[in-house]
């Protein structure tokens, strides 16, 4: 059963949320774990792809879009099935992934935007109803 964590940001800025996702992806990759960054839509996939190239000038995070390389160390996608199991899912989509059980860890990144807060609260309830024990982490 995966470990579920809700990382809560104090800002409502979408850019802060994406930056946190990139930092967490880099940390997990450095720890030797495969990472799946699940975006809300194709535009957010492209934004994450671009941000991973430039968010830390001194660091390269090997990544690719799922359709180009589903085996990349950090994969950016939507609802595709992950190519590797037991990695980290960083969920930026407002809904639960259909593949939650394929990961050892799931991270939901929450900011203070009202619509996102509502969606994340619903996700928290859904995880609990499915028997998971989600944790809250303040950033």
pLDDT of residue 59: 84
Assign 55 a pLDDT band (cuts: 50, 70, 90): confident
Assign 119 a pLDDT band (cuts: 50, 70, 90): very high
pLDDT digits (tens, 9 = 90+) for 74-118: 999 999 999 988 899 999 999 999 999 999 999 999 999 999 999
Asked if 126 and 95 count as a contact pair (C-beta separation under 8 A), the reply is no
Q: CA-CA distance, 5 to 8, in Å (whole number)? A: 9
Asked if 123 and 7 count as a contact pair (C-beta separation under 8 A), the reply is no
């Amino acid at each position: 059963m995966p470990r579920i964590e809700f990382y809560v940001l104090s800002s409502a800025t979408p850019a802060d949320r994406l930056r946190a996702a990139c930092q967490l992806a880099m940390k997990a990759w450095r720890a030797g774990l495969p990472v799946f960054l699940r975006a809300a839509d194709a535009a957010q996939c492209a934004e994450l792809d671009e941000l991973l190239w430039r968010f830390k000038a001194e660091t390269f995070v090997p990544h690719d879009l799922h359709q180009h390389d589903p085996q990349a160390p950090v994969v950016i996608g939507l609802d595709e099935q992950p190519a590797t199991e037991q990695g980290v899912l960083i969920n930026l989509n407002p809904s639960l992934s259909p593949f939650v059980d394929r990961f050892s860890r799931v991270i939901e990144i929450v900011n203070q935007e009202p619509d996102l807060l509502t969606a994340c609260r619903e996700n928290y309830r859904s995880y609990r109803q499915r028997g998971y024990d989600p944790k809250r982490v303040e950033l």
